[in-house]
Amino acid sequence: MSLLQAIILGLVQGLTEFLPISSTAHLRIVPELLGWPDPGAAYSAVIQLGTVAAVLIYFRKDLVTLTRAFFQGLVRREPFGTTESRLAWFVLIGTLPIGICGLAFKKTIETSLRSLYVISASLIVLAVILFVVERLASHKRTLDDMRWRDGLIVGLWQALALIPGSSRSGTTITGGLSLGLRREDAARYSFLLSIPATTLAGIFELKHLLEATERPSAVALWVGTLVAFGSGMAAIAWLLSYLRKRSTFIFIVYRVVLGVVLLALLQGGVLRPQSGLENTDTTNKPLKLPVEKQLTE
């Protein structure tokens, strides 16, 4: 992997991770269009740590407040006594579905679900769902109004992000909107909910990526991660500002157009459904690179 490839992939990761348009889809599509090898879900998950760092820094005050409230609630034996302590518990509870499903369907996520046909279908289907939710939602509730049921429901929506193309931010924002949350609050909770799952996924994949006999250089990993961090910070700030005054309609249109274009390119033979590239080790046995973030989008 060249430095140019690492920079472009890091930029794609950072800009698309927090927008409801699927970073996984773009990390599969961009290399395919440019004739590059599929970087693999493991590489995608590792550079995703850059976007995790962006969330941690951007929401550092919120995280300090939630962490303090969480432990103070335990000490006082009132773990759900404040809005902040409840929100911390909601993030933990909401992480369980994607963790369980990620382990249960890991093999499928690593292989057949990375097909561009699956990605294009996911782009279009979630766009339709988001459109319906946008039209029907009340957009009145805030994070202060969230309850246990809400935290679990959004967590279940997040689990759908294991399907490439659905988008982790897309599914969780849609889930939040379906519960009547304001757009900005749905996005803010989506970002907070992303931290445990994406951090654990990135660390898990980093271990396996470093053990592989064929892998990107350390420089490529660092460059991709740092670029993802910078572009991710910009994407968070822009999206929160955008959703204060506007709907998600622009993302709905983008997803549908991209999905349709993808299907046309696949039918025309311009793109291949799968990368067609298989990494092998020195014994000629398939090299196992556990993957996916998808704990993403």
In terms of Cα–Cα distance, which of 55, 67, 62, 70 is closest to 231? 55
Low-confidence ranges of the chain (pLDDT < 70): 41, 110-111, 208-215, 275-297
Instruction: Give residue 203's pLDDT.
Output: 78
Conformational region of residue 284, where left means phi above 0, alpha means psi within -120 to 50, and beta covers everything else: left
Q: For 57-183, where are the E strands, in sequence order? A: none
- Sign of the alpha-carbon dihedral angle for 234, 203, 22, 183: negative
Instruction: Give residue 291's pLDDT.
Output: 39
Give exposure, 147-169, as e/b (b: 16+ Cβ within 10 Å): eeebbebbbbbbbbbbbbbbbbb
Instruction: Give residue 252's pLDDT.
Output: 97
Instruction: Give residue 213's pLDDT.
Output: 62
- Do the beta carbons of residue 131 and residue 255 sit within 8 Å? no
- Do the beta carbons of residue 10 and residue 228 sit within 8 Å? yes
Instruction: Give residue 41's pLDDT.
Output: 66
For the chain, domain boundaries: 3-267
Measured distance CA(186)–CA(172) in Å, rounded:
8
